Chain A
Amino acid sequence: MIASVFFYSALIVMIGAFLSVLRVLFGPTVPDRVVGVDTLNTLIVAGMVLLGAAYDRTIYIDIAIVYALLSYIGTLAIARYLQGGLE
């Protein structure tokens, strides 16, 4: 019973992730798209933690840890590229 509650809350979090995908598609400037990707990464971490509780798999939560750290490195690389190299 409680596993289905975790699953449906992960599904509703994925609706928020879909909204940020729309911002990535329709963003007028490049930093808008980067903001959309950053929000998408945070929401995917939340969804992976909730899915790990729903399916009783701890390995999903380990995936969430690695995804959080790697997406941070990706965000920093895109930000460095936007501001025009190392200063």
Chain B
Amino acid sequence: MIEYIIYAFLAINIIFNLLGGFSLHRFPDVYTRLHGATKCTTFGTIFAVLAVVVHALNQLRITGDPKYLQMALHSVVALVALLLTNPTGAHAIAKAAHLSGVKPAKAVIDAYEEKLTDRGESR
């Protein structure tokens, strides 16, 4: 029964991580690629860690070996580190790409550019 929960979590992980990989090739410019890749891989990695946590707690219940408790806790620490660093890294990349002169393809309104020109920082 618990094995099927692990299989379901691993299936969600595989689907979303592969979608994140494919979205790098299906989108036209930097910002949409960043959007697709970051969201999909973060969501997929949440389910990879959930599958490992369920597996480790199940092994802890069966064998009683404390190394499985350590495995579950360290997986949760890795997930927290990833959830804190991934959106901030994506934000930094997007801002740096805009400031380095890469414009969004097919964009109608560029609100960040308008904000910079209102402040008189046009380049």
Write the residues of chain A forming the contact surface with B, with a CB cutoff of 8 angstroms: 2, 5-6, 9, 12-13, 15-20, 22-23, 29-32, 34-36, 38-39, 42-43, 45-46, 49-50, 52-53, 58, 61-62, 64-65, 68-69, 71-72, 75-76, 78-84
Contact = CB atoms under 8 A, between A and B. Distances in A.
* Dominant secondary structure of chain B at its interface with chain A: helix
Contacts of A42: 20, 38, 41-42, 45, 82, 86
* Dominant secondary structure of chain A at its interface with chain B: helix
B52 A23 contact: no
B81 A35 contact: no
Interface of B: 3, 6-7, 10, 13-14, 17-18, 20-22, 24-25, 30, 33-34, 37-38, 41-42, 44-45, 48-49, 51-52, 55-56, 67, 70-71, 74-75, 77-78, 81-82, 85-86, 88-90, 92-93, 95-97, 99-100, 102
A31 to B, nearest CB: 4
B82 A68 contact: yes
A26 to B, nearest CB: 9
